């Protein structure tokens, strides 16, 4: 047997969770054919076969967490290992005692195939849904996320289960950040009465955050706790917090200060689709230098958020409210946008944080 180990998935990832197997013991595969799907750092990744051959043994189960470099399957070796080009094995034909023609070859029977993407399989596992019992409604008789959700609704109450996938990653990251970072928060409100009704809210928030980083570059920095050193980053790689049924995702918009608002919008739309379809690569979720969270789309005005090291700041935006303000000789109701800046007080002073927030508010209050 020749062992195949879980390959290095990049970005410093140390382990992955088996989402689904695309092959079974005895199957024949060709080079680059998908062997299995794994979930790591909130992304579902297909692992291709490094060679052609027969699958001898699967060494890991669905739901199991496997370290990078650990064996996940064995290929059969020898002449049998490279025979054939299809999944399934032809039974050997035996010659009859007379000169009659050989008996026809036959395929070994196999179980019905369940057609579902890795993201659908991962969701089904989280909800405790057996995919073989789900009625498919997708293209080509495939099972969709909606099919899985519908099946789960008929299961009733479920027993508590261990967090997996994106939720497991989020829990571990938040616990680590809370232990390591000296969190502090400053809060204020921006008067956005001058905004047009069709304003691209996320675009304006990105622009304002860039203004804050230009005013105080130390908040777009990386802090090394071991050496107590702060390194200002030359580019602004913005982590955009996105809520989803599978947990919190923070994909990264690269070098936003050099991009146009139209390019921001295209990137934002693309990463939202990636979160929904669970098609983001691990690299799409790495390398943020500062984070933006627009939690006000759901509820809440101000918040104390969590800074993910080595970042030193996260800007939170709350729900817009109408507030009375002095206007000329009278009082008027203006739209006010609550903003909260949480920062790592080991690396950022209160003055730096306040100046950053002041620049953000000034930009938000500028028309157009």
Locate 63 and state its tokens. Answer: 């739901």
| Alpha carbon distance 145, 124 (integer Å) | 8
Rounded mean pLDDT, 330-350: 95
Q: What average pLDDT is seen over the chain? A: 84
247-249 and 2-5 beta bridge pairing: unpaired
Domain presence at residue 191: yes
Greater confidence (124 vs 320) lies with 320
CATH number of the domain where residue 32 is located: 2.40.50.100
- What is the DSSP annotation of 160-171? -----HHHHHHH
Helical (H) or strand (E) element with 249: strand 247-249
At residue 45, the pLDDT reads 81
Q: How confident is the model at residue 33 (pLDDT cuts 50, 70, 90)?
A: confident
R_g of the chain computed on alpha carbons? 27
- Per the listing, tokens 């935006």 go with 317
Domain presence at residue 249: yes
φ/ψ region of 346 (left if φ > 0, alpha if ψ in -120 to 50, else beta) reads alpha
Q: How confident is the model at residue 125 (pLDDT cuts 50, 70, 90)?
A: confident
C-beta of residue 122 within 8 angstroms of C-beta of residue 165: yes
At residue 11, the pLDDT reads 58
Judgement on whether residues 55 and 28 belong to the same structural domain of the protein: yes
Question: Which residues are CB-contacts of 166 (< 8 A; sequence separation ≥ 6)?
Answer: 39, 42, 244, 246, 247, 248, 249
At residue 227, the pLDDT reads 93
Rounded mean pLDDT, 152-166: 68
Domain-terminating residue out of 75, 90, 105: 90
CATH number of the domain where residue 127 is located: 4.10.320.10
Q: How confident is the model at residue 60 (pLDDT cuts 50, 70, 90)?
A: very high
pLDDT digits (tens, 9 = 90+) for 179-190: 999 999 999 999
Q: How confident is the model at residue 31 (pLDDT cuts 50, 70, 90)?
A: confident
Judgement on whether residues 130 and 264 belong to the same structural domain of the protein: no
If one counts every other C-beta atom within 10 angstroms of the C-beta of residue 71, the result is 14
| Alpha carbon distance 106, 318 (integer Å) | 65
C-beta of residue 36 within 8 angstroms of C-beta of residue 18: yes
Judgement on whether residues 201 and 344 belong to the same structural domain of the protein: yes
User: Residue 42: which of 303, 244, 336, 317 has the closest Cα?
Assistant: 244
Record the pTM.
0.64
Judgement on whether residues 123 and 235 belong to the same structural domain of the protein: no
Domain presence at residue 2: yes
Domain presence at residue 99: no
Judgement on whether residues 142 and 26 belong to the same structural domain of the protein: no
Judgement on whether residues 147 and 231 belong to the same structural domain of the protein: no
Judgement on whether residues 195 and 334 belong to the same structural domain of the protein: yes
State the total domains in the chain. Answer: 3
At residue 77, the pLDDT reads 79
| Alpha carbon distance 57, 24 (integer Å) | 8
At residue 160, the pLDDT reads 59
Judgement on whether residues 188 and 294 belong to the same structural domain of the protein: yes
Judgement on whether residues 273 and 317 belong to the same structural domain of the protein: yes
Rounded mean pLDDT, 13-28: 87
Most confident of 77-81, 252-256, 274-278: 252-256
Judgement on whether residues 335 and 308 belong to the same structural domain of the protein: yes
Domain presence at residue 40: yes
Domain presence at residue 224: yes
| Alpha carbon distance 7, 4 (integer Å) | 8
Judgement on whether residues 204 and 125 belong to the same structural domain of the protein: no
At residue 81, the pLDDT reads 47
Domain presence at residue 51: yes
Query: Is the per-residue pLDDT at 342 higher than 60?
Result: yes
Locate 59 and state its tokens. Answer: 């060494």
Domain-terminating residue out of 161, 191, 219: 161
Judgement on whether residues 198 and 342 belong to the same structural domain of the protein: yes
Rounded mean pLDDT, 230-242: 96
For residue 124, the enclosing domain spans 114-161
Domain presence at residue 142: yes
């Amino acid at each position: 047997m020749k062992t195949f180990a879980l390959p290095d998935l990049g970005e410093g990832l140390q382990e992955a969770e088996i989402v689904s197997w695309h092959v079974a013991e005895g199957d024949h595969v060709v080079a680059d054919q998908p062997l299995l799907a794994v979930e790591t750092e909130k992304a579902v990744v297909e692992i291709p076969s490094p060679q052609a051959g027969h699958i001898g043994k699967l060494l890991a189960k669905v739901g199991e967490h496997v370290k990078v470099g650990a064996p996940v399957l064995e290929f059969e070796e020898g002449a049998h290992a490279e025979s054939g080009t299809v999944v399934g094995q032809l039974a050997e034909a035996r010659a009859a005692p007379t000169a009659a023609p050989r008996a026809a070859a036959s395929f070994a029977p196999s179980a019905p195939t369940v057609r579902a993407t890795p993201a659908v399989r991962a969701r089904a596992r989280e909800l405790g849904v057996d995919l073989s019992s789900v009625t498919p409604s997708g293209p080509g008789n495939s099972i969709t996320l909606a099919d899985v959700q519908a099946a789960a609704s008929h299961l009733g109450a479920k027993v508590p289960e261990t967090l997996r996938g994106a939720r497991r990653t989020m829990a571990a990251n938040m616990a680590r950040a809370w232990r390591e970072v000296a969190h502090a928060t400053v809060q204020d409100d921006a008067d956005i009465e001058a905004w047009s009704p069709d304003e691209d809210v996320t675009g304006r928030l990105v622009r304002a955050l860039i203004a804050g980083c230009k005013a105080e570059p130390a908040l777009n920095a990386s802090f090394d706790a071991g050496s107590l050193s702060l390194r200002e980053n030359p580019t602004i790689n913005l982590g955009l917090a996105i809520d989803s049924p599978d947990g919190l995702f923070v994909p990264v918009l690269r070098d936003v200060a050099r991009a146009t608002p139209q390019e921001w919008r295209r990137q934002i739309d693309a990463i939202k689709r990636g979160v929904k379809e669970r098609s983001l690569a691990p690299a799409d979720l790495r390398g943020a230098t500062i984070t933006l969270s627009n939690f006000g789309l759901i509820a809440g005005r101000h918040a104390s958020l969590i800074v993910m090291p080595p970042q030193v700041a996260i800007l939170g935006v709350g729900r817009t409210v109408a507030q009375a303000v002095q206007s000329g000789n009278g009082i008027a109701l203006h739209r006010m946008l609550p903003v909260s800046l949480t920062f790592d007080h080991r690396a950022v002073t209160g003055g730096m944080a306040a100046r950053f927030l002041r620049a953000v508010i000034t930009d938000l209050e500028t028309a157009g």
